[in-house]
Structure 1
Amino acid sequence: MSDPRIHIVDRVTTAPGRGRAFVDAYTAEYVPQAVRIGMTLDRVLVSPPVWLDDDGNTVTAIWTVSGHEQWWQTAIARRFDAGFVDFWRRVEPMVAERSRSMAAAAESVEGMCRV
């Protein structure tokens, strides 16, 4: 049986010494907004697993949504919700670079192609 979940992976490299502050802000501000629009937080990982003062940490947040319809709904909501734009603007000094990717279980991809 295929798994309809789509995983949304946010990867942020923080500015030196800003890893803990970024995770605190992400958890307190971004997470509640994302949950409100239907995303489910799977986990937040920090690499290396120690707060760095002289270098940046890599923070990886893994989210799930229930299939392509919910993915589109959350994608549209994030683009047009000022709260998300404001969050990224506020944390910009803490962020060296960021990216987002999406993935699904290999056995689910074929079914997701038939939308």
Structure 2
Amino acid sequence: MVHAIDEIVAQPGEGKALLDDYLAHYALGARARGMKLEQILVSPPMWLDDQSNTLTFRWSLAGAGAWWQMRFVGGNDPDVAAWWAEVDVRAVSRRRFFASEPADIEGLCDV
């Protein structure tokens, strides 16, 4: 199992709207690319008008093959690039990183 974690620090007052847009637009395509949304976290746990909320989305992918497929399809989809360009305007920062359970690493490296 590979986890893709998106962390988006929204512009002040944009947290709830950005979460709604992520779920309505980005998440649909991500699911079609084989990603399963496992968890959403909002920090701090209240919607802020004058400060930033941090939105964290944890996705799972069924191994290295699914990860490569997701990267290939998403990397060649202009809608995905357009979505992230829109997020960049509405966010203070964003990052995506990938992780796995320690027990899964050996199998993920055997491709």
Are 2:16 and 1:36 equivalent residues in the alignment? no
Are 2:91 and 1:95 equivalent residues in the alignment? yes
Single out whichever of 104-113 and 63-72 deviates more from structure 2.
104-113
Instruction: Give the number of aligned pairs.
Output: 111
SS in 2 for 1:89: helix
Alignment of 1:1-115 (within 5 A): 5-115=1-111
TM-score for both structures, normalised by structure 1:
0.92
What is the identity percentage for the equivalent residue pairs of Structure 1 and Structure 2? 37
Flag structure 2 segments of 5+ consecutive residues without an equivalent: none
Flag structure 1 segments of 5+ consecutive residues without an equivalent: none
Residue 90 of structure 1 deviates from its aligned partner by 2.4
**Deviation string for 1:19-66 (max 9, x for gaps)?**
011001001000001011111111211000100111110000000010
TM-score for both structures, normalised by structure 2:
0.95
Contact 1:33 1:83 in 2 (8 A): no
When the two chains are superposed, the root-mean-square deviation of aligned CA atoms in Å is 0.9
